[in-house]
Amino acid sequence: MDTMEKITALTKRRGFIFPGSEIYGGFGGFWDYGPLGVELKNNIKKAWWQSMVYDRDDVVGMDAAIVMNPKVWEASGHTQAFTDPLVECKACHHRFRADKVKDVCPDCGGTFTEAKKFNLLTEVYIGTIEDNKTKAYLRGEITQGVFVNFANVVNSTRVKVPFGIAQIGKAFRNEITPGNLTFRSREFEQMELEYFIKPDKKEAEETFEYWKSVRMKWYQDLGIKKDNLRLRKHEDTERAHYAKDAVDIEYQAPFGWSEFEGIHNRGDFDLTNHKLTYKDEAGEFTPWVIETSGGVDRTALFFLIDSYTESEDRVILKLHPKLAPYKVAVFPLLANKEELVNKAREIFLKVKSQINPVAWDARGNIGKRYFAQDEIGTPYCITVDFDSLEDDSVTVRDRDSAEQERVSVDKLTGFLQNKLG
């Protein structure tokens, strides 16, 4: 089995990612997140929001509707730019206007799909009366929800340029070739920052560089191996219709270097299209925008891939404790000894009142339980044994080193909180 097959099997078997509508044969490009997947995704979103909003005083958040007035997509250029005849490279999935390329992909030499006039925007019909419904779109990017609310945010808060608006939410694209598990889906979640600055070339370049390094650091701080990350500047032919300058943070996936997140200088493209301006003591102007646009699903997938470790006898997901679906697991040494189970249950509830979520496992033997927790990335396992009944201490085992240490129950929660950070 190759790495992607192993990851796909593990994520399904252990409840991270299921094929969407599986009992009806699935539905290409749609995925459901199970009990562990939803924890991983929530942890990613929490860590992102912490770093992009709470740790700063120049960024506010918002949450716009998925369906917007279709005029938004006309103004943003998406209805137009997404209806050209396009070909998509079967290998690297880069898309090109059919009239702009020859037989092979200029980026990787791969072959193309048939040229198709197609729109990435997913249509929806709103209204109750048949034959008289309004055609609208599920948003193709979450960005426009921020731009159309630019004046609302400025008028309702104390923000002053330079400032940012952060948002996390679902986006939908009629991708021609979904694949590589959740990497390219038709429904996915984005996490984006639109950072508004003065219309100044030098400031734009500096801000662009600044966000490049902030975002590269974020992935590394959460454990992505440095060698598996790189920045790639877009070629002139490749840039999206709105971008003046664009760089991708890429990850070395088993299927090749692939986009994690895009950082774009959108200039005044969007605010001008929506006829929005900004006023301060210096006068009225149209701010420029530096955008960081990442995907929650790709981040989850790449963190799973990067943390996947095989040792002689076990698989370990070496996920950062902040991202691990379960932080701690508690076991009674034997499931059929009532006093052990009661003691373990008491400790489980105590830890659970401070740390979330905590797993309980009383099946099989201890070795199997360690194996099962390593495979889902639980950083610490606690075993309650016969000595625990005498000395009120437990064994705490570290996922990565497999080392065990004895900790007294009254110090346990603090000990774990300290380790988990």
Q: From CA 186, how far away is CA 183, in angstroms rounded?
A: 10
Q: Does 185 bind ligand ATP (CB under 6 A)?
A: yes
Residues 6 or more apart from 115 whose CB is under 8 A from it? 85, 86, 87, 98
Q: In angstroms, what is the minimal distance from the CB of 295 to ligand ATP?
A: 2
Q: Does 294 bind ligand ATP (CB under 6 A)?
A: yes
Q: Does 270 bind ligand ATP (CB under 6 A)?
A: no
Q: Which of 262, 321, 325, 379 binds ligand ATP (CB under 6 A)?
A: 262
Q: From CA 265, how far away is CA 254, in angstroms rounded?
A: 29
Q: Which stretch binds ligand ATP (CB under 6 A): 265-273, 280-288, 290-298, 388-396?
A: 290-298
- The closest alpha carbon to 190, from 407, 44, 351, belongs to 44
Residues 6 or more apart from 130 whose CB is under 8 A from it? none
Number of residues lying near ligand ATP (CB under 6 A):
15
Site mask for ligand ATP (CB under 6 A), range 142-171, x = bound: ------------------------------
Q: Does 190 bind ligand ATP (CB under 6 A)?
A: yes
Residues 6 or more apart from 287 whose CB is under 8 A from it? 161, 196, 197, 198, 199, 268, 271, 278
Q: Which stretch binds ligand ATP (CB under 6 A): 31-39, 162-170, 183-191, 328-336?
A: 183-191
- Per CB under 6 A, which of residues 102..141 are in contact with ligand ATP? 141
Q: Does 295 bind ligand ATP (CB under 6 A)?
A: yes
Q: Which of 31, 33, 82, 188 binds ligand ATP (CB under 6 A)?
A: 188
Query: Hey, what amino acid is at 377?
Result: G
- DSSP code, position 233: E
Q: Does 184 bind ligand ATP (CB under 6 A)?
A: yes
Q: In angstroms, what is the minimal distance from the CB of 184 to ligand ATP?
A: 4
Report long-range pairs for 214-222 (Cβ below 8 Å, ≥24 apart): 214/51, 214/292, 215/249, 215/261, 215/263, 215/292, 215/294, 216/249, 218/47, 218/48, 218/51, 219/249, 219/260, 219/299, 222/47, 222/303, 222/320, 222/322, 222/323
Q: Does 96 bind ligand ATP (CB under 6 A)?
A: no
Q: From CA 127, how far away is CA 8, in angstroms rounded?
A: 39
Distances (CA, A) of 378 to 310, 318, 326, 329, 418: 15, 9, 5, 7, 16
Residue found under tokens 């059919």: 98
Q: Which of 297, 306, 361, 385 binds ligand ATP (CB under 6 A)?
A: 297
Q: Which stretch binds ligand ATP (CB under 6 A): 16-24, 154-162, 181-189, 318-326?
A: 181-189
Q: Which residue minimizes CB distance to ligand ATP?
A: 295
Question: Of the two residues 287 and 295, which places its CB atom closer to ligand ATP in the complex?
Answer: 295
Q: Does 173 bind ligand ATP (CB under 6 A)?
A: yes
Q: Does 261 bind ligand ATP (CB under 6 A)?
A: yes
Binding stretches for ligand ATP (CB under 6 A): 141, 173, 175, 184-185, 188, 190, 259, 261-262, 293-295, 297-298
